[in-house]
A and B are shown apart, each in its own frame.
Chain A
Amino acid sequence: MSMNVPKLLIAGAVALTAGVATAQPLPVPIPLPTPPPDGTPPPTDGTPPPTDGTPTDAPPPVDQPPPPVDQPPPLGAPPPIESITEVPASEPPPPPIDLPELLLAPSGAMLPAGVIYSRSGVDTSGGLSSDMRFGLGDVAEFGVAVTDLIRGREASGLTPRRLAPFYTATFRMGLAEDRLFRHQPALALGFRKSFEYEADNHRARIAELHLAASGHVGTRTTVHLNGSFWDASVETGDEGAVLLHDQGLGRQFRVGGGVAVRAVEDADILIDYAWMPEFCFTCSAPNRTRLRPILSWGVRYDLASWAQLQSGVRVPDIGDANLLDAQIFGQLTLINRSIERVVDRQRRR
């Protein structure tokens, strides 16, 4: 039995995405209140209209005791909404989740325990990307991803081409905001490492260790900042590996971050600045791997509590002020909290 890991990951991504979609709860129908026979418009606050002809805004008689709470409604009165829908007493909805990444840059937020997060994207250059993560105990998360943002070129003068699919795994652990003290930002220490990419007699691997912090400023703005140490290994033919960390810390360390502003009730405006390695397979050792900045901006729209849509513009060559290679991208984020609910329910028993 042989195991093709890339195919396994793709199949897993498709299966998980389908699972997330099918696992979402169906909407609960809430019927509109039935208007009374006299044509009086029903009140908008959900209270049943009076049935004895009393104007809606008239004060109740002072000398009459209030009716008992459990008194059945008089004949002809519309039944209360609860008795029609028979919605069982349900748990309060869980609070919204702070996502572990903006558009590209990592955030300091950590997925809650048992939450499955998946993000799939496509861009105008034909790239496909996917990212799946799983929250572990509110303090860590593990994930696998395929990215289309890593590029390589044969020689320094040639146009870089996409190295895809480039598979990575991620492990992050961190602290929630305000956990240690008030105004402490959410902190995450993350490590990402790739499978070995092999094509055209080249082999390449990347790794990234990042420390990310995220904090809310006011009620609508979240600021994200991260510092990343990068490493990479590039081999061509039978020559030994050329390692980025041999070139010194100055070539490994980069600062990134971004801002998210809740512009309207269900949409955020995002700007982020991230870094990605780019390989030059025949360049000298110091130039074999270079870190390139990527500027992205766009909008994140809440389709539902379990689905978000991101779209925007990404400029992979912002370091060279090259806007011609800018890409327009779309991303779909799905969040499945089924396991979280099951675990919580089991714990309460």
Chain B
Amino acid sequence: MRSALYLSLAVSLGGPGAIRVAHADDQAPAPLRQRRATAAEIFAGPFRSPRLFAMPVADVVGAYQLSLSGDASLLQEPGILTAAGVAAIGFGDVAQIEYRHTSAVGIGDIEAPIPAVGVQLQAPFRERPWVPAVAIAFRLGVPRRETIADQPVDESVTDLYLVTRLRLRGPLTGVTLHTGARVSSAKIVRPGLDAAGTAKRLMVLPTFGLDLAASDSARAIAEIGLAPQFRFDPAVDAAPQVDYGLLGRVGVRWAALPAVVLDASIGYQLEVARGQPADGLESFVQWDIRVGGEVFVPWGAIACRLTGGFCESRE
């Protein structure tokens, strides 16, 4: 384990000295919204991603832009492909509205998709050295049904995130720290049962993230935080429980093109398929590999180019 952590750190620290920051800077201009802009200019960015892997950051999708992202885990649940997608649209560089769609696709069956909506607001302060950016995000959870040992349970989580982002300077240029607290209202219900079949808990969950420029187009990212963990094993206890669980992830996000980001990571997290807690960090067989991507669509610039609408007023 220690060697893994040391190498992750080395990968991260190997970059900043010689490598410029790959992602957009707050002061950078937005994609051109001009009638004569070429496709290359429109998709040259810069674009800002509102997340690390699962953790939101104190950035929002830019104005007149749309972010489509999705990821999939081949291994989170044994033999099952689980996937999740998020569409986020930016408003005025300070807000975004997002729609989440999660599904679990089995080899032989499909569970119902789980939609959820959220809104994220970024404090409209000018970025200054050593002053963190701040954002707040709200995600409204919709119940998700799972069947464990032929017993259905409905799980839901509604989150309120407060996140900060601090870009380091000097010899640590390229390193960005993310911290946050997640206030979660988690609930698990066994349909048809009375209060004994319901567990509900309000939890305050700290999160921490580290984001480093690892090459001219890639960022090494680590995030760790507590998360609600649902426990239900009918053979042991008929009453479901909500507990604290640990979720950690280390990986890479690579901006293959300014508007196309690919990511892959390994993570330690709850194994939800059987309603049992993970055994601990040494239980590699319960770790997860996740791969995903994010595409930015500068719809305002495209609409300007095609129709003349949404163009910048200074043109």
Which residues in A have some Cβ–Cβ distance to B below 8 Å? 1-6, 113-114, 136-142, 144, 169-171, 173-175, 179-180, 187, 189, 191, 193-196, 198, 203, 205-209, 211, 227, 229-233, 243-245, 339, 343, 346-347, 349
Contact = CB atoms under 8 A, between A and B. Distances in A.
B4 A136 contact: no
Nearest to B79: A196
Interface in B10-32: 10-11, 14-15
Given A169-B289, A187-B10, A209 B4 contact: yes
Given A209-B4, A245-B285, A171 B105 contact: no
B284 A229 contact: yes
Contacts of A189: 3-4, 7-8, 11
Contacts of A179: 14
Contact of B252 (A4, A137, A144, A349): A137
Nearest to B3: A211
Given A3-B107, A5-B74, A211-B3, A347 B217 contact: yes
Contacts, number: 148
Nearest to A139: B214
Interface stretch (B54-62, B160-168, B183-191, B257-265): B257-265
Contacts of A187: 7, 10
A207 B279 CA distance: 14
Interface of B: 3-4, 7-8, 10-11, 14-15, 40, 74-75, 78-79, 81, 105-110, 214-215, 217-220, 250-257, 262-266, 279, 282-285, 287-289, 291
A182 to B, nearest CB: 14
A169 B106 CA distance: 17
A267 B14 CA distance: 33
Nearest to B214: A139
Contact of B75 (A2, A141, A173, A193): A193
A243 B285 contact: yes
Given A139-B11, A175-B11, A205-B78, 7 more contacts: A137-B217, A139-B252, A169-B74, A170-B289, A173-B220, A175-B14, A198-B79
A142 B110 CA distance: 26
Contacts of B262: 136
A298 B289 CA distance: 32
